Amino acid sequence: MPDSYKYVGSKVQRIDKDKVLGGAEFAYDFELPGMLWAKLVGSPYPHAKIVSVDYSDALKVPGVVAVFTGEDFPFKVGLYAADRDVLARKKALYYGHPVAAVIAESLDAAEEAATKIQVEYEPLPYSLKVEDSLKPDAPIIHEEMHTYKHAVFIYPKPGTNIAHQTKVRKGNVEEAFSKADVVVEKVYREPLLSHYYLEPWTGIARVRSDGTVEVWSSHQSPFAVRELLSKSLSIPMNKLVVHHLYTGGGFGGKAGLLLEHLPILFSKKLGGRPVKLRLTARENFFYMAQRAGYLIKMKTGATKDGKLIAHWGEYYLDAGAYADYTVNMARAIGLTATGPYEIPNIHVDSFAVYTNKVPTTAFRGFTMQELHYAFESQIDELAHKLGMDPAEFRLLNVFKPGISRTAIGERLKEDAGDPATPIKEVVKMLSEDDEKPKKPWIVRGKGIAAFWKGPFQPSSAASSAIVKVNDDGTVDVLVGTGAMGQGTITALTQIVAEELGIPPEIIRVSPHRSTDMVPYTWQTVGSRGLFSEGMSVIMACEDLIEQVREVASIVFDVNKNMIEYSEGKACVKGEPWHCITLKEAALGYMNPKGVTVGGPLIGRGYYVPPRNVLTDPETGQVLEEGHLAPFYTFGAGGVEIEINLLTGEIKVLKAVSVYDTPAVNPGLAEGQVVGGTVMGLNIAMRERLIYDEEGEYKGVFPEGMLLNPCLTGYLLARASDIPEKIEFKFLGVKQKDAPFGAKGIAELTMIPWPAALANAIYNAIGVRITELPITPDKLIEEIRKQKPELLEQAEKYLEVNL
């Protein structure tokens, strides 16, 4: 950011400090008079017919008010596909699928009663793997899929387990492969993951006497929750109020419709009494949607001069039992099929596939980390086969703004960003350290990965803002975006301060908001908050400034063109002694004779992504010249690692990343980079939800059960796992129609790390890992398969040293 900005580009301190000082209020903390508690009872089978539910003993527990089953709610809800039962009806679709709910005066009573519910099941054949769900004789998980409502851009295949398919067709792939000098064909696998946000999900609802439904829950997007509840439960939006408190992390897992419909429906059945459903950390694994698993098949070809000419792919996402966000994620990964590279011939199919696992949903990066892990591994393999430097190979093929067309035929804007420079900078940053390991069984390697991402959203994904001046000259900013730790409200404060020329200290953006009290925004997803809310806030400030100039022109009896605004006041040009401050005009300016000019200053602004267009369902190509996203952020990441050949342990010595965008608040951006780097590397090396897909634990654990629903089995990074060095740069390349040129970066900070790590391993020892996470056991197993001589040599080194 240039020095001419006073507040934008500075490390203004976060304004949501009460989260660390203990004053923040979360849905977990919220209670209402007369509130009841809900507890869910889940299925012990991955797929089973529900024969009967006996809850007579549960009703005898003191304090129990009611027990509900799926038969009490004979309809379906959903996000992009209405495929979700309120409670399991007729059959359970996954281990933990809620079959019944107990409502009681206390949580203790609800928990005791839940243990007394007896359900008779008839187990059915089940499928825990995408490959199995695609077989001709696979059990069909949704036999009535043909009756479900779907979004217009979702294409299911009734009679199968395919919840959605996206097609991308460009050029002639078969002909192009015949001309390729090198071809790399691989299969990549990535497991289901948990978002593991700090705050397990909580929802409270009550129905008022006038029919108004109020909801308090831990969500990312209050207006998305309102819209989906309104459609699913046929509640008019003016009778539905969604309150947004602090949210303790989301990472995509709290986007869309979660479990808010449950306390609403329970409250309706019980005369409007407030009902609270609060999940434990363990229950969160079973009742909340998780990140999809991935099976990615790729074949990529290049010519001997280093040009990519063909790409074929089949990308399968494990949707679990319900489609949720995963159908749209399958669309996103297909439409961005080849990462930030221009390839003239493409044939890709992407699928969301039902399995008998917990439902899956959006996850930070919205398929881009998963896609780039596979595609950037392909790029490195091709470079090595061609005998080219991997960075140079990338630079030959990376997008050129204003010239290149993406996989779907979208022509990048001239100011879309800088895809090339981050690659060059990452190579420089990695080359600074060239120490040699001190033990012969320790080897070092470096790897890089380029990446890009934009927010995939409909053309109607609007944001709006209101900026109003109070009597004393302070300012309130009203926006609908969710606050879950990303720091957007601080950055928006800086934007308003810069636009109005007033200090951030007199501006307030409330971390709490309600859908009936703040202007609309689509969703808080896709790293779009700073961009979309920022643009709407700028427009609101411009609207407010025009009002002040209008008042000043009347007061000083000059044309409005003679009024200039800066530093919180409107003055006559060339006559700085003729000015009106924001404070003086806040409620309308009163002249010495007592006549008031104007009225309360309220600026209104909105932003709708320009020229967002649809794609052809048969080819994936844009239907006219336009864009899939209002912006793309480009970057690259790289790691230097040490590998212990005796144990398979990997130590990340250095992680570097470069982003083409400016940063509105470098301090916030730094926090995002460090957090995203640690998160991305942990996903690469440790995280996975483990199901007994191969029947290894049959008879030991219940079939189809998640085996590691806790932190003793689901491994998160500790302080000792953080890289010794985390370095980053923001290049400051501006997009003309972005707020102060800046674009979103939060999700991008975690995208490159699995690919960079896999490439570093290959560069170090010539072993290609195509399945995450890359654990010590996995690495040793692959070394034995691909380079057994490395282990033999390491063992000899050890014998000599001992």
357 shares its domain with 496: no
Domain of 579, CATH number, reads 3.30.365.10
Tell whether 571 and 659 lie within a shared domain: no
| Phi/psi at 551 (5° precision) | -60, -45
Please tell me the distance from the alpha carbon of residue 541 to that of residue 477, in angstroms, as a whole number: 10
Cα angle for residues 670, 532, 667 (degrees, 5° grid): 15
* 592 in a structural domain: yes
* Residue 331 in domain: yes
pLDDT value for 234 = 94
Instruction: Indicate whether 390 belongs to any domain.
Output: yes
Name the nearest CA neighbour of 151 among 371, 356, 456: 456
- DSSP lists the bridge partners of residue 307 as none
Output the pLDDT for position 440.
86
- Residue 311 in tokens: 């790409």
Residue 226 in domain: no
| DSSP for 49-92, written as a single string | EEEEEE-HHHHTSTTEEEEEEGGGS-SEE-SSB--EESS--SEE
Give the span between the Cα atoms of 551 and 590, in whole angstroms. Answer: 10
391 and 432 together in one domain: yes
**452 and 463 fall within a common domain:** no
How do residues 324-353 score in pLDDT, each as one tens digit?
889 999 999 999 999 999 999 999 999 999
User: Looking at the domain assignment, is residue 232 inside a domain?
Assistant: no
Give the model's pLDDT for residue 802.
61
> DSSP letters of 519-562?
--B--S-TT-IIIIIHHHHHHHHHHHHHHHHHHHHHHTTS-GGG
Q: How high is the pLDDT of residue 429?
A: 97
Q: Which of 607, 634, 655 is the last residue of a domain?
A: 607
Contact (Cβ atoms closer than 8 angstroms) between residue 127 and residue 139:
yes
What range defines the domain where residue 39 resides? 31-124
Based on the domain organization, do 511 and 593 belong to the same domain? yes
pLDDT of residue 3: 57
431 and 515 both lie in a single domain: no
Same domain, residue pair 664 and 727: yes
- The tokens describing 465, both together, are 């803002």
Cβ of 629: how many Cβ atoms within 10 Å? 23
Contact 146, 138 (CB under 8 A): no
Domain identity same for 367 and 423? yes
Which CATH number belongs to the domain containing residue 108 in this structure?
Answer: 3.90.1170.50
Domains held by the chain: number: 3
Contacts of 62 (CB under 8 A, 6+ apart): 109
Residue 146 lies inside a defined structural domain of this protein: no
Tell me which of 576, 607, 638 is where a domain ends.
607
User: Would you say 307 and 68 are in contact if contact means Cβ atoms under 8 Å apart?
Assistant: no
Measured CA to CA, the distance from residue 680 to residue 119 in angstroms comes to 41
Domain final residue, candidates 607, 642, 662? 607
**Do 436 and 471 reside in the same domain of the chain?**
no
Between CA 566 and CA 292 the distance in angstroms is: 50
Residue 713 counted as domain residue: yes
Cα–Cα dist 620/335, whole Å = 7
* 385 & 521 share domain: no
Residue 636 lies in a domain: yes
Task: Put the strands of the sheet holding 213-217 in their side by side order.
Answer: 64-69, 98-104, 36-42, 275-278, 202-207, 213-217, 240-244, 513-514
Strand (E) or helix (H) holding 466 = strand 463-469
Q: Mean pLDDT by 10-residue block, N- to C-terminus, for the chain (802 residues)?
A: 80 88 92 97 97 98 98 92 95 98 98 98 97 97 93 93 98 98 98 96 97 97 95 96 95 92 98 98 96 98 98 98 92 96 98 97 96 98 98 98 96 96 98 79 96 90 97 97 90 98 95 94 92 97 98 96 97 96 96 90 96 91 90 97 96 98 96 97 98 87 93 92 95 96 95 98 98 98 96 82 65
Same domain, 426 and 550: no
| CB 378, CB 298: distance < 8 Å | yes
* 729 backbone φψ class: left, alpha, beta (φ>0; ψ -120 to 50): beta
pLDDT digits (tens, 9 = 90+) for 297-316: 999 999 999 999 999 999 99
CA nearest to 94, candidates 296, 352, 285: 285
- Is the same domain home to 601 and 635? no
SS (H, E, C) 249-275: CCCCCCCCCCCCHHHHHHHHHCCCCCE
